[in-house]
Every structure is written in structure tokens, then in C-alpha cells.
């Protein structure tokens, strides 16, 4: 490594090592490119260190604690008296998962011969990046660059984050002690997941949605189940909340994100950004400066790790000469509430608005053997298909493992499957996936495990 103002020539430079950046780096290396990966923090980014993984780990701990306190447990012969929890130990356990995964990411990076440079980078010109870090100030001249710098929590103008009383979701996950009460402002999946995490741990959670409902676009029947689940946990939900009047503290604000692009000197380089600071890219993830690509949250699109990782592969493949683009038909979306919610493709309302003549199928989990053996009858599967040819258009699942089952429907939609295709294949029995079969059969008018209309 050269220190000072000497320029090091590199092949592919990836700026940011979150799920977008490290996946892009590895994919480009697999394709024979020499990759330098820069991050001011640890590889893994928001998803691994502050977001998806910490939240899901703590949710799992909270849910398991909740299950031991459930009245249903006694009815199946399990008596778990004197169960208690300890937030500090939950944090230690969560961190052990993060550390284990982070070590795995580091090993993946080095085994693919990606050079990792710790430091903060910005553009000097359309071909060069300067990196300030523990090795001093480094200057890299690249053939191609992939920007993957992520996003920061979007603040509310009159509620600046202070990390103690006014918190980002990431900060809420790291609170050293649990507060007696916690207010959450937001209507997105993160707001609902935070409520689902803290309420079972004895925190009085108040959830404020600025709009008329939570989770816009979700099928009303599914939303009702999720809201009932939150209320059962003791979450107090207020919609159409006047945010300026919320004086309770601590308060967590989950109002989306802002692309982390301000310090990159993009204007000087001529890289075009939108009004939110998101880097404008085409379907090949290429910016208006042809050798500079951008992926993930810094593009200002839907902030999901799944999207960042897919765009990463597209960018790495395009700059290695492949003709590919980021054009998924559907994006699976999961909300880890109790019950869990997962959606993909159109809701019935969206499909109708888009001009489709639709047919729907519905199957309640109460009629599924596997759901009952798992101790729940709370959930539903809703399918939407094109009435003209049976092509599947969308699905909403509520219930255990909905987030895993949704992948099956996403695959079906991507492959152009019809209700008949879903109905014809074999499903393991007893299984939750049978609910998808039953909903498809219902839409086809041949559901076996639904009471016949008399
Ligand atoms: C609480 C929470 C829960 C979430 N849960 C989910 C979930 O369940 N599912 C899901 O799909 N998504 C989830 N997300 C969103 C997900 O974390 C992001 O969409 C994802 O991390 C975006 O990946 P990225 O690579 O674009 O950016 P990031 O993960 O943010 O990575 C960007 C990286 O760039 C580095 N960087 C930034 N600027 C510079 C610079 N100038 N120089 C060097 N390095 C720089 C940062 O240090 C960081 O490591 C969640 C987010 C939060 C906050």
C-alpha cells in the first residue's frame, strides 16, 4: 500500500462494504477482476451491524421469551414458572451472532482475494477516489467504481436525533437499558418490528403513524391480523398522529432513509443525483458517468438488503462485460411481527388498479394441520391471479414462517406460473406450504379443506 499523494492504480474500486458493496466486490472478483473494497467501518454495513440481523436476533429472543409466558403453554402440558429475561445478555447473544457473521464476511472477502482498505472515501475526479484512514491518505485511480455507501436514518426536521431521547431505529436496538415506555413514530416494517420486539419485554409501547394506517398497500385482511397481534402484545396504536404534539421520550423515529452521498463530492465529478441525494442509475446500475456504478440504499430506491445484493451482482457483471440488468418482476417483503406478514407482487386492489381482471384465493391457517401443531390458528394466505389466464400476480401470507414461504410464491410469479401450476405440484404434508395449495385451489373453485358453500 502506498501512503501519501502517490496514486495507486486499481481495477475495480468498491466504495462501501455493506451487503451491496461486499457482494459486488466478491462477484467482480469471481469474474476475474482485481477488486479494492473500501469501508470506513466493518464489512457487513448497516444490515449486519445495526439493522436486519441485530433486529431479527433481538426479535427472536423477545418472541421466545413471550412464548414461555403464553397461557397456551400450560394447555399443552408445559409449565414454565419464574421465567425471566435479561436485556444485557440478550444484547451479548445478539452481538455474538453479528460477530460470527461478520467474521464470515471477512473470510469471504479475503478468500476471494479482494483487497480491503479501511477508511472514508470521496471522489477527487471521475477516475480517482481519495481515502482517509488509519493508513493515512491514499489515492486510487480506478477503471470502474461501484458506489455502495448506503443511507442514514431520515430525520424529522423538528426532532433531531440525540441518541438518547430521540433515537434512530439502530440506536433503539442498542439502548443499554430498557425504558419503561417507548414511543415509536412510523408506519413502516421497522416501526412495527420494533414494537413487536419491545412490547413483550414489558416496555409500554406507543406506536404513532402519521398516516391513516400502518404498512401502506398491504391487504386490509392481513393488516387487521397484524394490528390485532400488536394490540395483543399491548402496543397502543394511534393513526393520523400529530407528530409535533408527541412530547413523550424516549421516542424512536422510523421515517425511511436518506442516501449517504453528501460527502462524496459527486457534483464535482458530474454524477447525477435526485432531489433526495440518491444516485441516478439505469437498469444496469450505471450512473451518467459510464465508469461509475451505484447500488443499494445510496441510489435512493427501496431500502432493502435483498435489493442491494441483487443490484451488486448486476453492477459487477455489467462492468465485467455481461449483458444483465436489475429488473425483478416482484420484490418479496417481510414484516417480522407476531403473526409474521409477507407479501409479494400485487394486492387485489393494486392488481385491479393496474387493469387486471382478477380472481382471488383465500385460505385461513385455522384449517391447516401444521399450523395447529405449531400452536397457532392465526393467519391467512391470500392469492391474486389474472382471471383471464390464471397467471399469479401476488400473494400475502400471514402466519408462522410467512417470510420463508413467500420465496415459493416469488419464484412462481417470476416463472409465470398459474394457479393451476400451484395446484398441480405436490406439497409435503403436514406443512404450512399446503396453505398456498389450498388458496390456489380456492381460487380455482376446488378447495378441498374449506367448507363447501350450501
Ligand atoms: C433497523 C433496520 C432493520 C432492517 N431490516 C431489514 C430487513 O429485515 N430486510 C432488509 O432487506 N433490509 C433491512 N434493513 C435495510 C438494510 O439494512 C439496508 O437496505 C442495507 O443495509 C443496504 O445495504 P447497502 O450496502 O446499500 O448499504 P449499507 O448496509 O448501509 O452499507 C454502506 C457501507 O458504506 C460505508 N460507507 C458509507 N460512506 C462511506 C465512505 N464515504 N467511505 C467509505 N465507506 C463508506 C458504511 O460504513 C457502510 O458499511 C434494515 C435497516 C435497519 C436500519
Q: Is the distance from CB of 116 to CB of 11 less than 8 angstroms?
A: no
Predicted local confidence at residue 228, as pLDDT: 97
265-268 long-range contacts (CB < 8 A, ≥24 apart) are: 265/122, 265/123, 265/124, 266/123, 268/123, 268/125
Mean of the pLDDT values across residues 163-172?
A: 96
7-50+93-152+258-318 with 166-253: one CATH topology? yes
The per-residue pLDDT for 5 is 75
- Which pLDDT tens digit goes with each residue over 426-439? 999 999 999 999 99
Report the share of the chain in percent with pLDDT over 90.
91
| 205-210 average pLDDT score | 95
What is the predicted pLDDT for the residue at 245? 81
Strand 7-15 relative to strand 136-147: parallel, antiparallel, unpaired? parallel
> Which of the four pLDDT bands, split at 50, 70 and 90, describes residue 139?
very high
Identify the bridge partners of residue 37 per DSSP, sorted by sequence position. Answer: 14, 116
Which residue owns the Cα nearest ligand 1 atom 20?
305
* Three-state SS at 137: strand
Residue nearest ligand 1's atom 26 by CA: 296
- Looking at residue 409, its pLDDT comes to 97
Hey, what's the cell of 116?
480491503
**Greatest alpha-carbon span in the chain:** 83
CA distance 103 to 91: 18
Q: Taking a C-beta distance cutoff of 8 angstroms, is the pair 68, 80 a contact?
A: yes
Question: How confident is residue 4, by pLDDT bands cut at 50, 70 and 90?
Answer: low
Provide the edge-to-edge strand list for the sheet that holds 236-238: 166-167, 251-253, 181-185, 204-208, 236-238
Element (H, E) at 285: none
State mean pLDDT over 55-74.
92
In whole angstroms, give the CA distance from residue 183 to residue 252: 6
Of the candidates 265, 34, 40, the one whose C-alpha atom is nearest the C-alpha of residue 142 is 34
Looking at the predicted structure, is the pLDDT value of residue 270 above 70?
Answer: yes
**What is the whole-number distance in angstroms between the Cα of residue 170 and the centre of ligand 1?**
11
Superfamily per CATH, domain 166-253:
FAD/NAD(P)-binding domain (3.50.50.60)
For ligand 1, atom 33: residue with the closest CA: 16
- Average pLDDT for 181-187: 96
Give the nearest ligand 1 atom to 119 CA. 43
Give the class (CATH, top level) of 333-443. alpha beta
Backbone angles phi, psi at 345, to 5 degrees: 70, -155
Among 233, 432, 203, residue whose Cα is nearest residue 338 = 233
Which of 169, 298, 305 to probe ligand 1 with, by most ligand atoms within 8 A of CB?
305
Q: Region 9-27: what's the mean pLDDT?
A: 98
Confidence at residue 7, expressed as pLDDT on a 0 to 100 scale: 94
* 49 Cα: distance to centroid of ligand 1 (angstroms): 9
Instruction: Please give the positions annotated as active site.
Output: 429
| Ligand 1 atom at minimum distance from 263 CA | 41
The residue whose CA is least distant from atom 53 of ligand 1 is 51
**0.75 cut: is pTM over it?**
yes
CA 359 to ligand 1 centroid distance, Å: 38
pLDDT per residue over 364-375, tens digit each? 999 999 999 999
Per the CB < 8 A criterion, the answer to whether 337 and 51 are in contact is: no
pLDDT of res. 2: 45
The predicted-structure confidence for 84-125, as pLDDT tens digits, reads as follows 999 999 999 999 999 999 999 999 999 999 999 999 999 999
User: Average pLDDT for residues 380-409, to the nearest whole number?
Assistant: 98
Nearest atom of ligand 1 to the alpha carbon of 42: 49
Q: Please name which of 335, 330, 280, 290 lies closest in space to residue 310, comparing C-alpha atoms.
A: 330
How many CA atoms are closer than 13 Å to the CA of 267, on its beta-carbon side? 5
- Ligand 1 binding pocket (C-beta < 6 A) is 15-21, 38-41, 45-47, 50-52, 55, 120-122, 148-150, 169-170, 190, 260, 263, 296-298, 303-306, 308
In this prediction, residue 74 carries a pLDDT of 87
pLDDT at 238: 96
Would you say the C-alpha torsion 258, 260, 264, 270 has a positive or negative sign? Answer: negative
CA dist 403 and 406 (Å) reads 6
For the chain, give the mean pLDDT: 95
For ligand 1, atom 38, which residue shows the shortest CA distance? 149
* Residue 453 scores a pLDDT above 80: no
So what CATH class is 7-50+93-152+258-318? alpha beta
Domain residue ranges of the chain, discontinuous segments joined by +: 7-50+93-152+258-318, 166-253, 333-443
User: For residue 290, how far is its CA from the centre of ligand 1 (angstroms)?
Assistant: 24
Amino acid at each position: 500500500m502506498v501512503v501519501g499523494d502517490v496514486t495507486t492504480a486499481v481495477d475495480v474500486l468498491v466504495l462501501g462494504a455493506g451487503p451491496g458493496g461486499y457482494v459486488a466486490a466478491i462477484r467482480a472478483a469471481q469474474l476475474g477482476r482485481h477488486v479494492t473494497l473500501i469501508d470506513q467501518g466493518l464489512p457487513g454495513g448497516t444490515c449486519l451491524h445495526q439493522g436486519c440481523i441485530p433486529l431479527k436476533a433481538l426479535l427472536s429472543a423477545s418472541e421466545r421469551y413471550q412464548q414461555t409466558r403464553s397461557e397456551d403453554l400450560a394447555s399443552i402440558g408445559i409449565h414454565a414458572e419464574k421465567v425471566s429475561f435479561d436485556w444485557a445478555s440478550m444484547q451479548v447473544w445478539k452481538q455474538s451472532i453479528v460477530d460470527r457473521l461478520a467474521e464470515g464476511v471477512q473470510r469471504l472477502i479475503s478468500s476471494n482475494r479482494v483487497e480491503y482498505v479501511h477508511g472514508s472515501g470521496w471522489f477527487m475526479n471521475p477516475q480517482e477516489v481519495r481515502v482517509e484512514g488509519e493508513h493515512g491518505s491514499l489515492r486510487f485511480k480506478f477503471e470502474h467504481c461501484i458506489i455502495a455507501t448506503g443511507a442514514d436514518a431520515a430525520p424529522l426536521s423538528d426532532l433531531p436525533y440525540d441518541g438518547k431521547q430521540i433515537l434512530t431505529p439502530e440506536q433503539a436496538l442498542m439502548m443499554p437499558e430498557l425504558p419503561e415506555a417507548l414511543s415509536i413514530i412510523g408506519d413502516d416494517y421497522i416501526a412495527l418490528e420494533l414494537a413487536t420486539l419491545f412490547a413483550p419485554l414489558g416496555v409500554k409501547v406507543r406506536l404513532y403513524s402519521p398516516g391513516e394506517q400502518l404498512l401502506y398497500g398491504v391487504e386490509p385482511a392481513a393488516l387487521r391480523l397484524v394490528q390485532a397481534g400488536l394490540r395483543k402484545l399491548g402496543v397502543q396504536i394511534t393513526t393520523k398522529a400529530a407528530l409535533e404534539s408527541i412530547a413523550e421520550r424516549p421516542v424512536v423515529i422510523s421515517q425511511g432513509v436518506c442516501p449517504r452521498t453528501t460527502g462524496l463530492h459527486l457534483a464535482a465529478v458530474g454524477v447525477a443525483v435526485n432531489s433526495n441525494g440518491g444516485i441516478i442509475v439505469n437498469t444496469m446500475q450505471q450512473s451518467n458517468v459510464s465508469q461509475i456504478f451505484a447500488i443499494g440504499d445510496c441510489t435512493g430506491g427501496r431500502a432493502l438488503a435483498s435489493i442491494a445484493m441483487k443490484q451488486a451482482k448486476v453492477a459487477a457483471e455489467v462492468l465485467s462485460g455481461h449483458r444483465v440488468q436489475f429488473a425483478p418482476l416482484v420484490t418479496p417483503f417481510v414484516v417480522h411481527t407476531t403473526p409474521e406478514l409477507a407479501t409479494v407482487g400485487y394486492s387485489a386492489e393494486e392488481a385491479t388498479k393496474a387493469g387486471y381482471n382478477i380472481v382471488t384465493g383465500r385460505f385461513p391457517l385455522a384449517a391447516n394441520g401444521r399450523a395447529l401443531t405449531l400452536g397457532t390458528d392465526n393467519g391467512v394466505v391470500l392469492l391474486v391471479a389474472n382471471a383471464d389466464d390464471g397467471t399469479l400476480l401476488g400473494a400475502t401470507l400471514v402466519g408462522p414462517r410467512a417470510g420463508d414461504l413467500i420465496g415459493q410464491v416469488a419464484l412462481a410469479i417470476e416463472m409465470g406460473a398459474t394457479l393451476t401450476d400451484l395446484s398441480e405440484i405436490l406439497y409435503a404434508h403436514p406443512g404450512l406450504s399446503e396453505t398456498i395449495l389450498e388458496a390456489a385451489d380456492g381460487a380455482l373453485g376446488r378447495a378441498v379443506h374449506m367448507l363447501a358453500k350450501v
